């Protein structure tokens, strides 16, 4: 792999405690960049758009990578996502989770799911509100063909570092309250705060690969 990518990956890994893992967000990156990073030992890759991910997955089918879906999940894409992604970080409503479980059952799959939560008002993002999650929890946890392993959250744009850290801590506390191990939080701009708050999956794109060569709208 190219030296700078390897160096960045090694430096990031060195900063992570055993409790946190790096999800390499490869949206906007060509298959060759993913292959190069996989040579270092990186196995978990995140993609946010199905149409972009599927051809890359095909090109990389000889590697045993674990693909995570991190983008907004449209209900008409659930079947394709369930077929291609064993981990889904962006389940943002009870209705979507019910549909996902039904379709996963039909496909003989059982994806690991992180429920996306919205702990601050944010018109640009989806997510279950805390009250919605707590109300739906007994149903969510017993859906037969998916396993809820954690929560995922994102900070609203323009949040200060201390506000982000408070938000991430609330997410961690909510996950602990529900006895969920995983917290998917932290991107290139805020992963230090997320890590300090107890993130277990840091979703890192540009800080790892460098700027995305092709424009990719934020999920
Ligand atoms: C693009 C994206 C990331 C990674 O973003 P960077 O700022 O490049 O690290 C993380 N999570 C989600 C949901 C994304 O869409």
Could you please report the per-residue DSSP string of 147-204? EEEEEE--PPTT--HHHHHHHHHHHHHHHHHTT--EEE---TTTHHHHHHTT-SEEEE
CA-203 nearest atom, ligand 1: 10
Q: Which CATH architecture has domain 3-204?
A: Alpha-Beta Barrel (3.20)
CA-206 nearest atom, ligand 1: 8
- Looking at residue 128, what DSSP letter applies? B
As a whole number of angstroms, the distance between CA 24 and CA 46 comes to: 6
Going through the chain in order, the beta strands assigned E by DSSP cover 21-25, 44-47, 66-69, 87-91, 112-116, 147-152, 182-184, 201-204
Q: Tell me the domain boundaries of the chain.
A: 3-204
Q: Residue of the nearest CA to atom 4 in ligand 1?
A: 205
Crossing angle of helices 94-106 and 130-141, in 10° steps, is 20
Instruction: Compute how many other C-beta atoms are within 10 angstroms of the C-beta atom of residue 22.
Output: 19
Which residues lie with the beta carbon below 6 Å from any ligand 1 atom? 25, 27, 48, 70, 187-189, 203-207, 218-219
Give DSSP secondary structure letters for 167-181: HHHHHHHHHHHTT--
| Site to substitute for ligand 1 among 23, 24, 48, most atoms within 8 A of C-beta | 48
Q: What is the pLDDT of residue 176?
A: 98
Tens digit of pLDDT for each residue in 17-61?
999 999 999 999 999 999 999 999 999 999 999 999 999 999 999
Strand partners, 161: none
pTM tops 0.85, yes or no: yes
CA-23 nearest atom, ligand 1: 10
Is the sign of the CA dihedral 51, 35, 152, 99 positive or negative?
A: positive
Digit-by-digit pLDDT tens for the chain (219 residues) are 567 999 999 999 999 999 999 999 999 999 999 999 999 999 999 999 999 999 999 999 999 999 999 999 999 999 999 999 999 999 999 999 999 999 999 999 999 999 999 999 999 999 999 999 999 999 999 999 999 999 999 999 999 999 999 999 999 999 999 999 999 999 999 999 999 999 999 999 999 998 887 655 554
Output the CA–CA distances (angstroms, integers) from residue 195 to 95, 191, 198, 206, in the order listed.
Answer: 31, 6, 5, 17
Q: What is the pLDDT of residue 212?
A: 83
């Amino acid at each position: 792999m190219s030296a700078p990518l390897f160096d960045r990956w090694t430096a990031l890994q060195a900063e992570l405690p055993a409790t946190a893992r790096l999800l390499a967000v490869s949206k906007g990156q060509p298959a060759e960049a993913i292959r190069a990073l996989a040579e270092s030992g990186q196995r978990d890759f995140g993609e946010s758009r199905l149409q972009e991910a599927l051809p890359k997955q095909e090109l990389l089918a000889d590697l045993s990578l674990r693909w995570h879906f991190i983008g907004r999940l449209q209900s008409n894409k659930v079947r394709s996502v369930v077929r291609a992604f064993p981990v889904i970080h962006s389940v943002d409503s009870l209705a979507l989770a019910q549909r996902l479980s039904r379709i996963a059952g039909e496909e003989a799959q059982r994806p690991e799911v992180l429920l996306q939560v919205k702990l601050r008002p944010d018109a640009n993002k989806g997510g279950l509100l805390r009250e919605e999650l707590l109300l739906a929890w007994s149903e969510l946890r017993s859906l037969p063909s998916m396993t809820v392993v954690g929560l995922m959250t994102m900070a609203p744009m323009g949040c200060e570092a201390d506000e982000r850290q408070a938000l991430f801590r609330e997410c961690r506390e909510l996950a602990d309250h529900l006895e969920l191990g995983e917290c998917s939080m932290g991107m290139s701009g805020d992963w230090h705060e997320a890590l300090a708050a107890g993130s277990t999956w840091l979703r890192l794109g540009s800080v790892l690969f460098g700027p995305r060569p092709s424009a990719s709208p934020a999920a």
